[in-house]
A and B are shown apart, each in its own frame.
Chain A
Amino acid sequence: MEHRRHTRFQKILIGYDGSEQSEKAVDAAISIARCHDAYVLALAVARPPEPPTSVELEATLDDAREHFEAGLKKVVERAQDQGVTIETDFAVGHPGEQLIHRAEEEHFDLIIVGRRGTSLFQKMILGSVSERVLRYAHCPVMVVK
C-alpha cells in the first residue's frame, strides 16, 4: 500500500481512436494529469488493411489522418479548458503494438485506453487492442469502459 500511495505518473500515453471509449480515456487522462502534473500524449494509430494495395493504403492513411486530426483538435481544446496540455501524434500499424512501442521507447509510466465492445469473432480474428496493451505493456495500463 505504501508503494501505491507514492505512485506518481509523470508521462501518460492515451490510445485515441475517436470512439466514445477513447474520449472517456482522454477524460481519465486529464483527471490524472491534473493531479500529477503529468505530460500527456494522445496517440492515434491508423491500421492499414492487409494486404494493402498502393492506392487503398494511401487513401486509408489520408482518411485516418483527417479523421484523427479533427478529433484530436477537440481533445487538445478540452484539455486546455481544464488546464492540461496534451500533445498529439499519429502512427501507422497495429494500434496495440504502436502504443506499447511508443510507451517503451519514450518511457511512459501509464497507458490509458478505451475498451470497445468487440464481438467474440472480431476478437478471435483481430485481437483486442486493450487486451494486447494490457498483456505486453511495460508499465501500468488503465482500461476505461
Chain B
Amino acid sequence: MENVWVLAALWVGLALIATLLAIWFKISTALTEIVVGTVAQFVIMAFIGHGGLGAKAGWVTFLAGAGAVVLTFLAGAELDSVIFRTKWKEATVVGLVGFFGPFLGCAAIAHYVLHWGARPSWLAGVALSTTSVAVVYAVMLELGFNKTDFGKAILASCFINDIGTVIALGLIFSPFTLKTLIFVVVSVLVFAALPFVTPRFFHKYGGRVSELEAKYLLFVLFAMGGLAVWAGSEAVLPAYMIGMVLAGTIGKDHILVRRLRTLTFGLLTPFYFLRAGSFVSVPALLAAPLVFVVLFFAKMFSKIVGLLPTVRAFQYQREEGLYYTLMMSTGLTFGTISALFGLNHNIITEAQYSFLVATVIGSAVIPTVIANAFFMPRHLLPKAAKTTKQAQALPLEVLADADAD
C-alpha cells in the first residue's frame, strides 16, 4: 500500500474500532488494539494478500517505537519516590522474587520442554517476567490498600520487578563491548543530572504555547534511545529510567503529564499495540496451541511458587496473598515490548513471537478473571452472599409514605 494517507487512515480507523471495543467492554485499550491488529492483519492477508497492514513501513515503525518509548517513560514517571524510599527493603525482596522466578522458570521451560534455543528461551524468560504496576494499583485503589504499608510495599515491588525486566531486556542480548560501557556511563551521568537540570530548565523557559517541555522530554528520550540502540541495547531501558528519575518533578506536573498522555494515546500507542498485534500469526497459534498452554502455566507457576511464600512472609493471609500473587502475574506493556524486541532483533521467530504475545495477553486477562471470580478479598462479599436472602427491595409503600409526608 503506497498511499501513505490511505495507510494512515486504515491504522487510525483500526485504532478507533479498538477504542470503541474497549469502551463497550470496559477493557484496556492496549488489549483491544493488540487483538484488532492481529485480526486485521489476518483478514487482510486472507482476502487481499501480500503486505497486509504495512506494519514494516518506516513511518509506522517509528511511530510505534516512539509509542513504546513514551509509554515506558510515563510508566516510570508514576513511581512514588517517597513510598519507594520507605519501603525499599520489602519492595526489593518481593520485586526481585517476582522477576527472577518467572525469568529463570520460563526460560528453563522454554528451553527444556519446548526445546527452544538459548537466546529465544532467555527472551521468553524476560517477556514473561513482567508484572503490571497498573493492575496491582487498580486493585489497591479498589480495596483501599493503596494507603496501607503493605499496599505501598507491593506497588514499589512491582517497579523493582519491572526494572529487572527492562535491565535484562536492555543488557542481556547485547554483547558487552566498549559501546555498552559508554552507554552505561553516559546513562548514569544523564540520570543523575536530569532531576536537577530539568525543573530549572522548565522553570526558566517552560509554560509557553510552544510546548517546550514536550520537545525537551522527547529530545532526551530519543537521544538516549538512540544511544541505547547504538550500543546494541533497547530504547525503552533509558526511557523507563528517565521516567523514574523524573518522577518526583515531571511526574507531579499534572498538566504536562496530561499533554503527554494525549500525544501518547491519541497517536503513538495505537500504532505500537496494533503493530505488535499484527505480527501475531494466527495459523502458528492454531497449529500448536499446547505451546501457549505450556508457556502460560510456566509463567503462572513460576510467579506463584516464588511470590506466594514471599508475600505470605509479609503476613498476608491465604486468599489475599494468592490474590496479590495473581495480580502480580499480569503484565501487558513490557511483555509485548520484550517480545517485539526479540522479533525485531531476530532473536525469536514469528511463531515464537506469536506464542509469547498470546501468553502475555492470556496472563493479563486470565489471572484477573480468576482472581475476580474466586479470590476476591473483598471482605464484604462473603457477608453479602450470606445476606442475599435477607436483602430486600424497597417496599413500594415506603416510597408512597415518603411522598405522602
- B223 CB within 8 Å of chain A: no
Chain A residue contacts of B29, Cβ below 8 A: 49, 53, 56
Quick one: which of B30, B380, B392 contacts A140, CB cutoff 8 A?
B392
Known contacts A55-B75, A92-B138, A136-B388; decide if A4 and B261 are in contact (CB<8 Å). no
Is the pair B398, A140 in contact by a Cβ cutoff of 8 Å?
yes
Q: Which of A22-65 contact B (CB under 8 A)?
A: 28, 31-32, 35-36, 47-59, 61-62
B223 to chain A, nearest CB (A): 22
Chain B residue contacts of A4, Cβ below 8 A: 395, 397-398, 401
Quick one: which of A53, A125, A142, A143 contacts B333, CB cutoff 8 A?
A53
Is the pair B391, A52 in contact by a Cβ cutoff of 8 Å?
no
Q: Which of B227-258 contact A (CB under 8 A)?
A: 257-258
Known contacts A54-B133, A110-B394, A141-B394; decide if A49 and B402 are in contact (CB<8 Å). no
Is the pair A32, B26 in contact by a Cβ cutoff of 8 Å?
no
- B384 CB within 8 Å of chain A: yes
Q: Contact flags (1/0) for B173-200 with A, using CB distance below 8 Å?
A: 0000000000000000000000000000
| Chain A interface residue number, banded | 35 or more
Provide the main secondary structure of the chain B interface: helix
Quick one: which of A56, A93, A97 contacts B265, CB cutoff 8 A?
A56
Quick one: which of A50, A58, A138, A143 contacts B368, CB cutoff 8 A?
A50
Can you list 9 A-B contacts (CB < 8 A)? A35-B405, A48-B142, A56-B134, A97-B142, A105-B380, A122-B24, A135-B388, A140-B395, A142-B399
- B364 CB within 8 Å of chain A: yes
Q: Which of B352-382 contact A (CB under 8 A)?
A: 364-365, 368, 378, 380-381
B90 to chain A, nearest CB (A): 21
Known contacts A49-B27, A50-B28, A93-B142; decide if A55 and B401 are in contact (CB<8 Å). no
- B14 CB within 8 Å of chain A: no
Is the pair B25, A59 in contact by a Cβ cutoff of 8 Å?
no
